[in-house]
Amino acid sequence: MESRTASDLTRLFNPRSVALIGASDNPSSIGGRTLANLVEHSDFHGQVHLVNARRERIGERPCYPSVKELPEVPEMVIVAVPAEAAVPALEDCGRLGVRYAVVFTSGFGEGGGEGIEYAERLRRVVAETGMRIYGPNCPGLCNVNERIGFTFSPSFRHDLRAGPIGLVTQGGGLGRNIMQAMDRGVGIGLWASTGNELDLQVADFVEAMADTPGIEVIAMLVEGINDGPRFVRAVQHAAARGKPIVAFKVGRSEYGSKAAQSHTASITGSAEVNSAVFRQLGIIEVDDIDELADTAWLLARAKPQPNPAGEPEPGFAVYCSSGGTTAMTADAIGLAKLTLAPFADGTTGVLRELLPSYASIVNPIDTTTAVLADDSLIEKTLLAVCRDPGVAMVVLPMALDYGEVTAVISRRVAAAQAQSEVPVVPIWMSERTGEGYRILRDAGIAPMRSVSKGVKALRRWVDYGRWLAAREPGFRPALLEAPTADADAPIRTLTELEGKTALRDAGIHVPMAQAARSRDEALSVAREARGPVVAKVLSPDIQHKSDVGGVRLDLSDDAAVGAAWDAIQAAVRKARPDARIDGVLIEPMAPQGGLELLVGISRDPVLGPMMTVGLGGIYVEIFHDVARRMLPLSAGEAKAMLRELQCHPLLAGARGQPPRDEAALVRLLVQVSDFVVARGAAIHEMDLNPVWVGREGEGAYPLDAVIVTR
Amino acid sequence: MESRTASDLTRLFNPRSVALIGASDNPSSIGGRTLANLVEHSDFHGQVHLVNARRERIGERPCYPSVKELPEVPEMVIVAVPAEAAVPALEDCGRLGVRYAVVFTSGFGEGGGEGIEYAERLRRVVAETGMRIYGPNCPGLCNVNERIGFTFSPSFRHDLRAGPIGLVTQGGGLGRNIMQAMDRGVGIGLWASTGNELDLQVADFVEAMADTPGIEVIAMLVEGINDGPRFVRAVQHAAARGKPIVAFKVGRSEYGSKAAQSHTASITGSAEVNSAVFRQLGIIEVDDIDELADTAWLLARAKPQPNPAGEPEPGFAVYCSSGGTTAMTADAIGLAKLTLAPFADGTTGVLRELLPSYASIVNPIDTTTAVLADDSLIEKTLLAVCRDPGVAMVVLPMALDYGEVTAVISRRVAAAQAQSEVPVVPIWMSERTGEGYRILRDAGIAPMRSVSKGVKALRRWVDYGRWLAAREPGFRPALLEAPTADADAPIRTLTELEGKTALRDAGIHVPMAQAARSRDEALSVAREARGPVVAKVLSPDIQHKSDVGGVRLDLSDDAAVGAAWDAIQAAVRKARPDARIDGVLIEPMAPQGGLELLVGISRDPVLGPMMTVGLGGIYVEIFHDVARRMLPLSAGEAKAMLRELQCHPLLAGARGQPPRDEAALVRLLVQVSDFVVARGAAIHEMDLNPVWVGREGEGAYPLDAVIVTR
């Protein structure tokens, strides 16, 4: 797994000099459009050089036949010529010491053929010269905050609302869709869309944007992550810089990942693993592209604060002049399990004084349309709500566009917002977007457009505050470590006895299991256990022992153990006549009434070793109630992981259930994590199922262990 | 529970004559605005009479001092005067034989005070004269398809896009929000917003719209249902007329129902019960107001066909010219578990011939932007997809508005749609809505605006087809029957023995349970059982027996039974010293390995008796995996109910689990339903928990029964 550190990309966003290879005087060509964007629609103050062997000059500017003839070596080149010309030109650039190349050109292996070799040649340029290639097959770069466009897109000049969001996308079309959210007032300061990711990837731009002044939130649209370590490092860098990342990941279903693979070369990976890693790293995952802009915008407007578990969540206020709209917004807030702030007496006093008696002055507020008769009341009452000490944010749904009536409301809302640091978040629910809408947009408080999606964004904002508080800044995922095993070594499944022995040797408590090669030996081993035992078939060929009748429980005397021996032999021989049977394992029966969980380890090809914890037995397949983490696992993360489970009340002690030994379970999870991390890639997969969890003080330990190693 | 049948409201939507009580020459007053809507902005061909005691005439029209002086008795009156004048005027109207009154006036008890008495007087008018009152406190009626407005809203003349949707709302503001969806091309033919529902309710308008020509789908926004039987009848009437109902229900969370109650008088009821009833009656429930318009519009454009369980679901096609957008749409479709149609060879052949080699010609289709070079290809290829025999609907996401480029696409899409009956459903994802958008809108194929919300609408469309196939047209909910018990009778909880006896007397198999009043009697009863038994405390004061240590399982011999007797006595005395202990119940122990479910009966104050089925024990509280139905329950509905459970694989036989006696369980559910229905309101509540479900052939029966009667 190659993992180069991103070089500083600051100068890529605003280089001292640029050469456009393939400059053209045809305004509809790629080269012509790029030139227009660069010299007409940008505020670019660097040198611009044109390369075109078939022209003397374009407009006032001289053309040069190649990069080699330019009067200086440009810091960056933009390549707008076909692949067969682009490759030698880029080889020249590398040799000359050009730092960055933005390559629009397609035909580098997306369709197979000679493009594969072209791509290989470019990779060699990168490796040998250190020149960074952005693309190929990319739509370029829009540095909106500095008004610089290295792009052929005719849209560049239309989508120039500066702002705090940095946008990184895989896919130019979807990226431009997000840029068009500018129409509703969302400001996007910088956009890169990574094309084929021959060199620079999403991760590199995330890392660079984390260091870009003026960018406060990073929005990311990804179909696949190629380089896990690079990705994780970039994300952790953004977190260290205090810049939240919001991500929309395409390819979460089979249809989606197939379609994504068919038009990119990315590895799309398991959606569940991706989502778990995102959550663990504090990446805020959204479910649709429109939610990406909404959520990023909310995070830019309202800086999330760490909100430790146990503390109450931030309180919201709902402010509206329509009863029905108030109710439906409060409803959405309730369904999202968010909190409406109870108002301080002072706030209620102001509202009581200013609003009519039939208004609702407790949160959620329905001012009624009475405020329209004296619209200064909107500003005064809204400001009172913003100033309430318990209110972190004011949600302001607007169901209707009533022309000037609504414009008046918007003016008052904007005026109140100008006097308060507490964010007012309008939700413009109507399809009609007239003057009232534009007032909000131009006041910098671009509304959301849907109550349910808006409230989802609020929920994510709150969750991010929780994550900030729980964040472990020193966390260094195991995938960042060098592999300690040969990735090509053969894969082998340990027998249960081997697996349990390995765990025990690592200090993990596992019930003593002993192999019995004969019926007599089984009897004598069982007698030594002094209590009921379990017998399980001992075979290198069988993993799912109970599926073949290879397990017998609760054997209390010789007769039971002997019968179990016979029954196991018969059942397994019948179900799997080919399997070698070495005898049985005898181990003490776990006490009745334990809770059974499963603990699994898998290895994602991109994101490294992951732990899965969930309710064991058949329930995992029915309810899919699992939590996942990248390793290594701290005790804090282990606890958080268990709290994430829907079945957590079974551990904590639900109605009539005893509290379980959660502390022992946490210890076990950390031990298993340490076991895996210490062995690096040598542990390919593990399945501890069930893990028995006793009552408080009784402990927690695996009753079975399947370990797959290299 | 009053439940009057709705009279024919056809003439309310378009009466022969109308009198406006409170007509005004002040154009900004309620009366003036209503007059303008009626005579300037409507195509109303009936007689218009004006009532105003202080004017001779308004414009060309004479004014009369009261309804009594009018030259004819109008079929309808519109009341735009304050409550103190409105009440006597309406009393006059009733006496004169006016058929309908639309009452804008507020002050009828929403704020308490004398309004309560006013409301009572109006109720008397309705009861004594049969005049139907719409309102009070309503914004009037918009009969868009006939261009008639009985409303004071200045928006009337702006929101006049005729169409197949009938809209009924509680709440004028939210209703107008939906009307503003006309801006994006959704046609709404008729809108009523019911105000205080003093007489006419949501149900009456649903019923009337079911009979209104030109209305194909009914969209409903409700905060509360006051009259369950009337509601159910109306909904069943719409189903019989083949008109789907889409509903957005506000008040599903505590915040929401509190806020809804504070501004209306409705009973909001339990959200889960509401949703279950909606599902059972075929009402398509949505989660946000924007989804209401989207979903209703989809159902109007694409008539759902019955799709029996077991048949494959209808197939969708995705058609797009951007790879990323194609992938994300396919992804959303996959996540919603919808089906992409595999194309017939003929379709693939056409696509292969017309599209470039790097296009994706399998579903989902990515034409690539190559089609822009010859946009006739869009029409041809889209039409080929529409004509594929496996394609029920084509989803056409459009990520961008590129001005004229996009307009060209829209024109071709509209042209293809004009040649095919298969609906093309565009999803316009950009915030920019220019010419391309307007072309689609004006072609009658108004786009959805969000991929995730659009796909939710598709999912609901498919689910509705399933419902249509499973629908039992003869289903008559128990709440429509006259109550057979006094609703004010005292409530009593039967002892377990009484409850089980009642069930057994009704022919429901229940394990023999026998009371033992003494330790010796317990021993002898247990001996007779010839097998392990269960002992449970027998006490009229204790319901949750295991919570107080009142249950002992698996007692195989005298020693165990005796010890259980002692232990139960001790534990219960300790936990509940006040409880009377009458002895223990002894019953045979159910065989090991049964699946435990719960079956409950509750009585919703508005919607009548409901059955709940779910995974029993502690899991119900953890996973909330339950299904609910109004009674009576047919075997078909019982099966459907079990299939709805997430834990259904446990019944059907998940990995390593034996298939359960689902047939016996279905029989039990139907028997319990019959038991409850036969007793009417006498059964207040029932809790059969656990219900033991054995392997195939072993049966299914309750192990415990709590019955609350009146």
User: HEC string of A131-166?
Assistant: CEEECCCCCEEEECCCCEEEECCCCCCCCCCCCCEE
Bridge partners, residue A492, by sequence? A709
Q: What was the pLDDT predicted at A110?
A: 65
Three-class SS of residue A669?
helix
State which residue of chain B sits closest to A110, comparing Cα positions: B358
Measured in degrees and rounded to the nearest 5, phi and psi for residue A565 equal -55, -50
Instruction: Read off the pLDDT of residues A162-219 as tens digits, 9 standing for 90 and up.
Output: 999 999 999 889 999 999 999 999 999 999 999 999 999 999 999 999 999 999 999 9
Residues shown for chain B: 710
Q: Contact, A357 vs A388, CB < 8 A?
A: no
Which of B171, B256, B324 is opposite residue A250, by nearest beta carbon?
A: B324
Mean pLDDT of B195-217: 96
Q: What was the pLDDT predicted at B706?
A: 92
Instruction: Read off the pLDDT of residues B418-443 as tens digits, 9 standing for 90 and up.
Output: 999 999 999 999 989 999 999 999 99
| Residue B154, CA distances (Å) to A434, B422, B448 in order | 16, 38, 27
A interface mutation test: which of B289, B291, B371, B615 has the most A CBs within 10 A? B289
| Alpha carbons A651 and A648: distance in angstroms, whole number | 5
Smallest CA-to-CA distance from B328 within A608, A291, A152, A609 is with A291
Is the pLDDT confidence value at B326 over 80? yes
Give the number of other Cβ atoms within 10 Å of residue B242's Cβ: 11
Which residue carries 């002094």 as its tokens?
A530
Contact A255 B432 (CB under 8 A): no
CA of A672, closest CA in chain B: separation in Å?
27
Contact B429 A547 (CB under 8 A): no
Q: What was the pLDDT predicted at B418?
A: 98
CA of A2, closest CA in chain B: separation in Å?
26
Q: What was the pLDDT predicted at A111?
A: 62
| Alpha carbons B3 and B225: distance in angstroms, whole number | 12
Instruction: Read off the pLDDT of residues B273-317 as tens digits, 9 standing for 90 and up.
Output: 999 999 999 999 999 999 999 999 999 999 999 999 899 999 999
Q: What was the pLDDT predicted at B2?
A: 38
Bridge partners, residue A428, by sequence? A398
- Pull the structure tokens for residue B516: 């033992």
Q: What was the pLDDT predicted at B4?
A: 42
Q: What was the pLDDT predicted at B158?
A: 93
Q: What was the pLDDT predicted at A666?
A: 98
Three-class SS of residue A642?
helix
CA of A213, closest CA in chain B: separation in Å?
27
The backbone region for B6, taken as left when phi is positive above 0, alpha when psi lies in -120 to 50, beta otherwise, is: beta
State which residue of chain A sits closest to B170, comparing Cα positions: A324
Contact A259 B171 (CB under 8 A): no
CATH says B161-301 is which class?
alpha beta
Mean pLDDT of chain B, nearest integer: 92
| Alpha carbons B203 and B194: distance in angstroms, whole number | 10
Is the pLDDT confidence value at B271 over 90? no
Specify burial of residue A586 (Cβ count, 10 A radius: 0-12, 13-18, 19+).
buried
Contact A331 B618 (CB under 8 A): no
Mean pLDDT of B200-214: 96
Q: Containing H/E element for A618? A: none
Contact A364 B401 (CB under 8 A): no
| Alpha carbons B614 and B599: distance in angstroms, whole number | 7
CA of A442, closest CA in chain B: separation in Å?
16
CA of A175, closest CA in chain B: separation in Å?
9
CA of A438, closest CA in chain B: separation in Å?
13
Q: Which residues contact A539 (CB under 8 A, 6 or more apart)?
A: A495, A550, A572, A576, A579, A580, A581, A582
Q: What was the pLDDT predicted at B3?
A: 38
Range with lowest mean pLDDT among A591-600, A624-633, B179-188, B464-473: A591-600
B interface mutation test: which of A28, A110, A328, A450 has the most B CBs within 10 A? A328
Contact B654 A255 (CB under 8 A): no
Contact B401 A180 (CB under 8 A): yes
| Alpha carbons B548 and B571: distance in angstroms, whole number | 7
| Alpha carbons B142 and B144: distance in angstroms, whole number | 6
Q: E strands along B385-490, which residues?
A: 391-398, 424-428
Is the pLDDT confidence value at B110 over 70? no
| Alpha carbons A432 and B69: distance in angstroms, whole number | 44
Q: What was the pLDDT predicted at A655?
A: 63
Which of A364, A400, A654 is opposite residue B622, by nearest beta carbon?
A: A654
Contact A334 B432 (CB under 8 A): no
Helical segments of B506-538, H only: 519-529
Is the pLDDT confidence value at A2 over 50? no
Bridge partners, residue B393, by sequence? B316
Contact list in A for residue B33 (CB cut-off 8 A) is none
Half-sphere exposure of A41 (CA within 13 A, CB side): 21
Same fold? A10-300, A306-470: yes
Three-class SS of residue A99?
coil
Q: Contact, B19 vs B213, CB < 8 A?
A: no
State which residue of chain B sits closest to A251, comparing Cα positions: B331
| Alpha carbons A286 and A684: distance in angstroms, whole number | 31
| Alpha carbons B380 and B386: distance in angstroms, whole number | 10
| Alpha carbons B116 and B118: distance in angstroms, whole number | 5
Q: Contact, B430 vs A175, CB < 8 A?
A: no
| Alpha carbons B533 and B547: distance in angstroms, whole number | 19
State which residue of chain A sits closest to B430, comparing Cα positions: A177
Instruction: Read off the pLDDT of residues A656-688 as tens digits, 9 standing for 90 and up.
Output: 678 999 999 999 999 999 999 999 889 999 999
Contact list in A for residue B109 (CB cut-off 8 A) is none
Bridge partners, residue A363, by sequence? none
Q: What was the pLDDT predicted at A591?
A: 83
Q: What was the pLDDT predicted at B681?
A: 85
Instruction: Read off the pLDDT of residues A578-626 as tens digits, 9 standing for 90 and up.
Output: 999 999 999 998 887 789 999 999 998 888 999 999 988 777 778 889 9
The ranges assigned to domains in chain A are 10-300, 306-470, 512-588, 595-709
Contact list in B for residue A223 (CB cut-off 8 A) is 324, 327
B interface mutation test: which of A152, A188, A432, A440 has the most B CBs within 10 A? A432
CA of B684, closest CA in chain A: separation in Å?
25
Contact list in B for residue A451 (CB cut-off 8 A) is 288-290
Instruction: Read off the pLDDT of residues A681-705 as tens digits, 9 standing for 90 and up.
Output: 899 999 999 999 999 999 999 999 9
Contact B327 A259 (CB under 8 A): yes
pTM (whole model) above 0.90: yes
Bridge partners, residue B218, by sequence? B166, B245
Contact list in B for residue A176 (CB cut-off 8 A) is 399-400
Q: How confident is the model at residue B488 (pLDDT cuts 50, 70, 90)?
A: confident
Question: What fold is seen in the domain A306-470?
Answer: Rossmann fold (3.40.50)
Q: Taken in order A356, A357, A362, A368, is the CA torsion positive or negative?
A: negative
CATH code, B307-470: 3.40.50.261
Smallest CA-to-CA distance from A400 within A428, A369, A358 is with A428
CA of B323, closest CA in chain A: separation in Å?
6
A10-300 carries CATH number 3.40.50.261:
yes
DSSP class per residue in B199-243? S--HHHHHHHHHTSTT--EEEEEES--S-HHHHHHHHHHHHHTT-
Q: What was the pLDDT predicted at B146?
A: 97
* Beta strand B492-493 pairing with B100-103: unpaired
| Alpha carbons B35 and B59: distance in angstroms, whole number | 11
Contact list in A for residue B547 (CB cut-off 8 A) is 655-656
B512-588 carries CATH number 3.40.50.920:
no
Which of A177, A262, A364 is opposite residue B399, by nearest beta carbon?
A: A177
CA of A556, closest CA in chain B: separation in Å?
17
Q: What was the pLDDT predicted at B619?
A: 77
State which residue of chain A sits closest to B262, comparing Cα positions: A360
Which of A262, A621, A646 is opposite residue B655, by nearest beta carbon?
A: A621
Contact list in B for residue A182 (CB cut-off 8 A) is 431
Q: What was the pLDDT predicted at B5?
A: 46
Measured in degrees and rounded to the nearest 5, phi and psi for residue B549 equal 75, 25
Contact B327 A260 (CB under 8 A): yes
State which residue of chain A sits closest to B359, comparing Cα positions: A263
Which of A177, A256, A452 is opposite residue B287, by nearest beta carbon?
A: A452
Q: What was the pLDDT predicted at B680?
A: 86
Mean pLDDT of B140-162: 96
Q: Which residue has the higher pLDDT, B335 or A488?
A: B335
Q: What was the pLDDT predicted at A226?
A: 85
Q: Contact, A364 vs A318, CB < 8 A?
A: yes
DSSP class per residue in A207-247? HHHHTSTT--EEEEEES--S-HHHHHHHHHHHHHTT--EEE
What angle separates helix B635-644 from helix B662-679, to the nearest 10 degrees?
A: 120
Contact list in B for residue A247 (CB cut-off 8 A) is none
CA of B520, closest CA in chain A: separation in Å?
30
Give the number of other Cβ atoms within 10 Å of residue A432's Cβ: 22
Which residue carries 């009979």 as its tokens?
B211
- Pull the structure tokens for residue A63: 């053309």
Q: How confident is the model at residue B10 (pLDDT cuts 50, 70, 90)?
A: confident
Note if the bond before A690 is cis, omega within 30 degrees: yes
Q: What was the pLDDT predicted at B616?
A: 82
Contact A287 B360 (CB under 8 A): no
Work out how many CB contacts closer than 8 A connect A with B.
272
The interface predicted TM-score (ipTM) is 0.93
CA of A67, closest CA in chain B: separation in Å?
31
The backbone region for A608, taken as left when phi is positive above 0, alpha when psi lies in -120 to 50, beta otherwise, is: left
| Alpha carbons A96 and A657: distance in angstroms, whole number | 73
Three-class SS of residue A610?
strand
A595-709 carries CATH number 3.30.70.3040:
no
Instruction: Read off the pLDDT of residues B372-386 as tens digits, 9 standing for 90 and up.
Output: 999 999 999 999 999
Which of B172, B180, B324 is opposite residue A431, by nearest beta carbon?
A: B180
Contact A182 B251 (CB under 8 A): no
Question: What fold is seen in the domain B1-139?
Answer: Rossmann fold (3.40.50)
Amino acid at B109: G
Which of B257, B431, B547 is opposite residue A656, by nearest beta carbon?
A: B547
Q: What was the pLDDT predicted at B268?
A: 53
Three-class SS of residue A273?
helix
Smallest CA-to-CA distance from A550 within A519, A526, A584 is with A584
| Alpha carbons B504 and B516: distance in angstroms, whole number | 19
* Percentage of the residues of chain A whose pLDDT score is greater than 90: 79
